[in-house]
Structure 1
Amino acid sequence: MQDIRVVTDFPRKIREIENLWIPMPDGVKLAARVWLPEDAESDPVPAILEYLPYRKRDGTVERDALTHPYFAGHGYAGVRVDMRGSGDSEGLCKGEYLKQEQDDCLVVIEWLARQSWCSGSVGMIGISWGGFNGLQVAARRPPALKAVVSLCSTDDRYNDDVHYLGGAMMCDNLMWGTTAWAIAMTPPDPLIVGDRWRGLWKQRLNGNGIWMQDWFEHQRRDDFYKHGSICEDYSDVEIPVYAVGGWADGYPNPIFRMLEKLSGPRKGLIGPWGHKYPHFAMPGPRIGFLQECLRWWDQYLKGINTGIADEPMLRAWIQDPARPAAIYDERPGRWVAEPAWPGPGIGEKVLNLAPHVLSEARGEDTILEISSPQTAGLSSGAWCGYGVMPTLPVDQRTEEGNALIFETAPLTEAVEILGFPEFEVKLSSDKPVALLSATLSQVFPEGAASRVSYGILNLSHRNDDLDIAPMVPGRAETVRIKLRCCGQRFEVGERIRLALATSHWPIVFPTAEQATLSIHCGDSRLILPVRAPQKLDDTLGAFLAPESAAPMEQEVLTKGDGFQRSVSTDQVTGETVYQVVNDGGTVRHPHTGIVLSAKHVDRFSIHPDDPTSAVGTCTWEKSYGRGDWQARLSVTATVRALRDVWRIETHITAHDGDERIVDRSEVKEYRRDLN
């Protein structure tokens, strides 16, 4: 793995403002941390805003130290703002991507542009939540916002986020829901807000709410999800957008859509990375991403012609074959480029289904049935891989007894694909509500199978997310699944595999009834987005080596047990448990004196013959302290996939020292809506 070069000598000397307050029209103040050149008052600079609910004081502090001082040293003001109701900011945060969040950000941008040290131009950068709201705020068109760098984000909050996948209820709805709940319940730092900290904390504990309840209440693509989804009208975004992501991440799909649909200047970059910034991401290779950002900012915030506007619209990493593993230091491959998307070199390779065979010849008119055990999918890993933890899919051979398998003969020539594989299938179901999972894998000569892509469709959503209807049992229909985008090379001698199943646990919760699907092979086909070699690939210059500002120091007081991921089966009852534990131990941040600890456990259990046995329980324990200030928090959420309802059970406790200030349990049920 390539080391990150630490830069301490910058073109401009840096000063830091540990905290300043940005006033909102309703009197609420947002907390900000700022890095800027020492001479910015006499030589103003553009501001680069990162706007998050993840606690600037101790949550994102490690990555902030790598990034924002680097920008400041190159003539920008790096600004990290805690959103309303989070970190050290006042007010309440009652959900994701609310209009209040955007309205506040418009005020922040206007305020930044007016500061004496700011040139009047503002850019937004962010990963995940910060990538989302960068796009959403761009659609609001604040005059001072000139460009966005959006990483690991989405244009579609319903069908390309943690909530629903092909209309199926995602298990991340619970996992991320519990994580977000825990973040929303944490206290501000008394050194920043003073004696008000306890009152502000109690406001959050009683007012920020449990956001996942909204996600279970809204099971269709309604106005709740349309809000904040720029795919509703791409023309709202006019400023330049640099969309960045990785194949191991959960959000590569939106990059292709935004390149195709946005009308303003845009650029896409997809590496092998997980859900991290590319200068310290895994799998590698890492790149000099901060230097790449400077080229973007210089072009669009300072008006300096860096040449980035003349480069290919898309740069993507085509992955070479790699044996399956839960974690990689690096993925071998090479960079390729497309001048636009869809690219001129992208074609189609059609592989037809015959009994257990994929071939270019049309298959036999044979009907095959599949009714998977509810445990099908356990080799899939996490929906959103972070790269630095072993969450990637493992050997797909373990799924062979759970799915219908279709394979090519050993390839006689290499195949490269870039884009979205699609599966068109004629099928019928014996139940009105059923799932279809399609997994594309690369099979090595000795039999190991690495997952390349997959797609999941709740067949009630077979027309689209607005025209939802149950299947008519026994009636055959033709449906199409768009699999997750990918960039992959298949070598001579390998096989291409398609696996079809009726469950994909624990990526999505099962439907209420065990369904059997009948697959009409002669009318079904896999369509691969094959890519021909392009002369443009040979003109690409290498990315610069990764570098950053100096990392933040921290002291490990108690080493945690780290990351653990396991699957176990009770041989008597048949219950299978998938469990992830992440214990970060206890650390101290010397620059603030904060001592913090965090541990979370995700546990998903199911019986292979009973979809209504599916239960997920997620727990977070967090603590923050310094001297007499000692705050502890514990949250637990359980989702039960019952026949007619989703049952959500939650419990929270919070302690100020030895005093328990909150101890609250709640149970809510939401009727299942064709899922």
Structure 2
Amino acid sequence: MTSRPFTTIENQWITLADGTRLAARIWMPEGAETDPVPAVFEFLPYRKRDGTSPRDESTYPVFAAAGIAGVRVDIRGSGESDGVIDGEYTELELANACELIAWIAAQPWSNGSVGMMGISWGGFNCLQVAALRPPALKAVISIASTTDRYNDDIHYKNGCHLSAQLSWAATMLAYQSRSPDPEIVGDRWREMWMERLENEPFFLEEWLPHQRRDAFWKHGSIGEDFSAVAIPSLVIAGWADGYRNTPLLAVEGMPDRSKALIGPWIHKYPHFAWPKPRADFHGEAIAFWNRWLRGEQNGTVAVSQVRAYILDAVKPAPRRDVDPGFWISKDRWQAPEMLNFYVEAFGSLTEGHPIPNASAHPVSLKSPLDTGTAAGEWFTLKPDAELAGDQRIDDAGSLTFQTAPLTHTLDIFGRPELSVMLSSDAPVANLIARIVDVHPDGSATRVAFGVLNLTHRNGNAEPQPMTPGEPTPIRLILDACGYRFRPGHRIRLSLSSAYWPMVLPAPTDAELTLDIATLGLALPKLGAHDTFEMKQPDNPNPLPTYIEHAPSETRRQVLRDLQANRTSYTIYEDTGLFEHPGTGLSTRQVRDEVWSISPGDPQSMTGTSVWTCDMLRPGWFVRTVSTSHIACTKTDWLISASVVAYEGDIKVFEKTFPQKAIPRDLM
């Protein structure tokens, strides 16, 4: 294909009907005014000028050279756009997106066909906008996203409260507190900055009162009505990320108009994600856009409905640059055949089903509340200690059952299921299940996991307290996985009642009693498939190089204070100070986050996340310091936050979100 010249419009103002002016960066193929082109639109709060510029610059120039315009717009209150953000995936945000799509389609350089694309926030809202059916939107590529905002995002999971909810509220408080660039907005920058600082929300105050799957979470969850999305969608995720369920849920809900691609990756675009192998995202996307935005008959329709990377006996490590495995494809996704296991009389995990009417075999489970420090992050941005580590650390506080060494290879692909009869001595308790690959040397890799607040055992809309001491049937569906267990390895089922700090503790330190005579584990067989070689990116290092003024640094540590009987989990991430060579703008963000708990006291839990964000040019420097905090009692979540801003060495703004007590709703 001939590479088409293009120009980059560093900032294009787009004025909405309500008068709000949004800032866009546009990559425009040469000659589009006389030879109109399709456009790909991305709509984010993550600051096109500095926040997402590296990844934007890795992709949109390639699209433009292929004759596809790229339009990257900052949501109101973000970057250089006017106003103040009003929440996450709000009706206003989605309405603005529809208005922007119409604006793009009406431009003289546009052929009238628009695609929408994004990862995370942008992956979420492109599916949500597709469900609104703006006429010019013809296809979407959604990466690391969700079809269910309640169960497959950073907030809650099967009724369990994820610590990522505070972490992401802290991140958004930091991002939204940052100044626009004076080089773009001129003398208005300070006025715009003060408006944001004064009015930006602390998202946790809105999220935390909605602890059930209510109308708040159903809004924007396309799984409520998959039929609303009538256009083709390519849905992509990585096994090392928290959004691993979405591609399979999408093809189940939209089998005639969606395709799934799952790699070994963290929360990044596939052409620069870790662990390797990567995928030729540019080639995939351009073919997809050409088919659905240009009508080109290029074979995209014939691509298998599901393509996935099957991890092959991956070893836990402090950093995973490459994961061994192989690519498989399935022309049509079908519910997999399950391989069943039960726990035999001597405690081994054995193929087969639980024996009907077997004598009860009660076993107690009460994990130390600091069980879970090897869980890693819920969603991962680096292939280091953010990934789940050696599971022997967490298995020490868990109830475990494992097979004899395997005599043959076992390949699985799909969502494992656990069933068991249990009782709790408290009305509210959590259960965590993990599938673990135990290597011959004893090291242990987490293959899949699932969490359940037992009060949500029959659904997330109307939780029901456990009746203390009453045996209750439990079914837990774990997250999707694709994995090969090798001969000589063992399959371990690990069960715990805590998974901290990923999952915040229940109000009391409950003890569970499991009847392991009833325990059943079902693993999804890979089944019929083809293998193929995924094309690798043409450019192995696609991200641009910026000018380094200070290096980045990451620390992640666990401190167990034996004298005080307290465990702390600390996260320190410094992006370093880097200057964009084209704009002269230097930025730096430092995240300093600490979680703490006493292993026997759930009400001792605290979490504090502090973000320091710097922006500077010669003669100009601004900084914001935002602090977010959570603690708990038996009846309430306690949250608070603050933001302080500096211009040079002078403090120019300070705001406190006073502590609020949010009642715990069976959580």
**Range of TM-score over shorter length:** over 0.9
The range that moved more, 36-45 or 70-79, is: 36-45
**Counterpart amino acid of residue 241 in structure 1:** S
Identify the residue that residue 597 of structure 2 maps to in structure 1.
606
Normalised TM-score (structure 2): 0.97
Deviates more, 1:136-145 or 1:638-647: 638-647
Q: Distance in 1 between matches of 2:64 and 2:383?
A: 27
Aligned 8 A contact 1:634 1:654 in 2: yes
Question: Are 1:395 and 2:390 an aligned pair?
Answer: yes
Is residue 233 of structure 2 the alignment partner of residue 241 of structure 1? yes
Deviation at 1:471, TM superposition (A): 0.1
2:364 to 355, 369, 373: 369
Amino acid at match of 1:450: T
Equivalent residues of 2:372, 2:499 under 8 A apart: yes
Q: Deviations over 1:80-138 (max 9, x none)?
A: 10011101000110211001100111110000001111111000110000000000000
User: How many angstroms apart in 1 are the aligned matches of 2:143 and 2:464?
Assistant: 35
Task: Report the residue type matching 2:390 in the other structure.
Answer: D
Aligned mates of 2:320, 2:384 — CA distance in 1: 9
Match of 1:107 among 99, 107, 110: 99
Question: Given that residues 212 and 462 in structure 2 are in contact (C-alpha distance below 8 angstroms), is that contact kept between their aligned partners in structure 1?
Answer: no
* Structure 2 counterpart of 1:59: 51
User: Letter of the aligned partner of 1:419 in structure 2?
Assistant: G
Give the equivalent residue in structure 2 for 1:164: 156
Contact map agreement 1:238 1:264 (CA 8 A) in 2: no
**Given residue 480 of structure 2, which amino acid in structure 1 is its aligned partner?**
C
| Greater displacement, 400-409 / 435-444 | 400-409
**Structure 1 residues 486 and 440 mapped into 2: Cα distance closer, same or farther (>3 Å)?**
same
The yes-or-no answer on 1:276 pairing with 2:253 is no
Corresponding residue for residue 454 of structure 2? 459
Q: Which residue of 2 aligns with 1:521?
A: 516
Distance 1:475 1:669, change over 3 A: same
Q: Is the contact between residue 282 and residue 537 of structure 2 (CA under 8 Å) also seen in structure 1? A: no
CA 1:303–1:518: 2 relative to 1, 3 Å: same
2:415 to 417, 420, 427: 420
Deviates more, 1:223-232 or 1:651-660: 651-660
Compute the displacement of 1:647 (Å).
0.4
Q: Residue by residue, what CA displacement relative to the aligned partner does 1:538-586 show, whole Å, maximum 9, x if unpaired?
A: xx354243438964342111224x1111111112111111111101222
Summarize the Cα distance change of 1:641–1:400 in structure 2 as closer, same or farther, 3 Å threshold: same
Aligned-residue offset at 1:306: 1.3
8 A Cα contact 1:282 1:387, kept in partner: yes
1:347 aligns with 2:342: no
In 1, distance between residues paired with 2:305 and 2:636? 46
The answer (yes or no) to whether the contact 1:184–1:208 under 8 Å persists in 2 is yes
Specify the code of the residue in structure 1 equivalent to 2:505: P
For residues 423-457 of structure 1, what are the alpha-carbon distances to aligned partners after superposition, in whole Å with 9 as ceiling and x for unaligned? Answer: 01110001000000111100112211110011110
> Any idea what SS the aligned residue of 1:547 has?
coil
CA distance in 1, matches of 2:494, 2:478: 12
Q: Structure 1 residue 533: deviation in Å?
A: 4.5
d(CA) in 1 for partners of 2:308 and 2:226?
23
CA shift, 1:626, in A, is 1.8
Q: Distance in 2 between matches of 1:617 and 1:488?
A: 36
1:301 counterpart residue number? 293
AA aligned to 1:337 is: S
SS at match of 1:418: strand
2:39 matched residue in structure 1: 47
Indicate which of 627, 639, 656 corresponds to 1:636: 627
> 1:430–1:516: 8 Å Cα contact kept in structure 2?
yes
Give the aligned partner of residue 580 of structure 2.
589
Alignment deviations for residues 278-335 of structure 1 (CA, whole Å, 9 cap, x no partner) = 1100001012111010110111111111111112100000110022113211111111
Task: Write out per-residue CA displacement over residues 146-197 of structure 1, whole angstroms, 9 at most, x where no aligned residue.
Answer: 0000000001111110000110110001111100111111111111111111
User: Which deviates more, 45-54 or 349-358?
Assistant: 349-358
1: CA distance, partners of 2:396 / 2:510: 17
Instruction: State the SS of the aligned residue for 1:178.
Output: helix
The correspondence of residues 437-476 of structure 1 with structure 2, limited to 5 A, is 437-476=432-471
Q: What's 1:4 paired with?
A: none
Q: Distance in 2 between matches of 1:615 and 1:206?
A: 27
> For residues 195-214 of structure 1, what are the structure 2 equivalents within 5 Å?
195-214=187-206
Picking from 15, 18, 24, the partner of 2:7 is 15
Query: What letter corresponds to residue 338 of structure 2 in structure 1?
Result: E
Q: Say which of 593, 603, 606 aligns to 1:615.
A: 606
Q: Which amino acid aligns with 2:93?
A: E
Q: Distance in 1 between matches of 2:533 and 2:313?
A: 24
| Whole-angstrom distance in 1 between the partners of 2:276 and 2:133 | 35
Is the Cα contact below 8 Å between 1:239 and 1:264 reproduced in 2? no
Tell me the CA shift for residue 10 of structure 1: 5.8
1:654 lines up with 2:649 in the alignment: no
Question: 1:279 and 1:211, CA in 2 relative to 1: closer, same or farther beyond 3 A?
Answer: same
Q: Distance in 2 between matches of 1:462 and 1:291?
A: 43
The CA deviation string for residues 446-503 of structure 1, in whole angstroms up to 9 with x for no partner, is 2111100111100010000113110000111111111110000001111100011110
Instruction: Give the structure 1 partner of residue 562 of structure 2.
Output: 571
Q: Where has structure 1 moved over 6 Å in runs of 4 or more?
A: none
Task: Name the CA distance, whole Å, in 2 between partners of 1:122 and 1:217.
Answer: 37
Which 10-residue stretch deviates more, 215-224 or 483-492? Answer: 215-224
Give the direction of change, closer, same or farther, for the CA distance of 1:178–1:474 in structure 2 (3 Å limit). same
Q: CA deviation at 1:403?
A: 0.8
Quote the offset at 1:643 in angstroms: 1.3
Task: Describe the SS at the equivalent of 2:97.
Answer: helix
Q: Secondary structure, in 3 states, of the residue corresponding to 1:217?
A: coil
- Between 1:309-318 and 1:381-390, the stretch displaced more is 381-390
Q: 1:318 to 1:167 in 2, by over 3 A?
A: same
- Asked if the contact 1:425/1:520 (under 8 Å) is kept, the reply is yes
- Structure 2 CA distance for aligned equivalents of residues 205 and 30 of structure 1: 18
Q: 1:140 and 1:198 mapped to 2: Cα distance?
A: 36
Judge conservation of contact 2:278–2:536 (CA < 8 Å) in 1. no
Q: What is the CA-CA distance between 1:414 and the residue it aligns to?
A: 1.2
Q: How many residues align?
A: 661
- Aligned partner letter, 2:513: S
Maintained 8 Å contact 1:67/1:549: no
Match of 1:384 in 2: 379
Query: Within 2, Cα distance between the matches of 1:194 and 1:386?
Result: 34
Worse-matched range after superposition: 652-661 or 354-363: 354-363
Cα distance between partner residues in 1 of 2:70 and 2:402 = 51
Match of 2:224 in 1: 232
The percentage of aligned residue pairs carrying the same residue is 42
Q: Give the distance between the partners of 2:170 and 2:272, measured in 1 at CA.
A: 26
Structure 1 counterpart of 2:490:
495
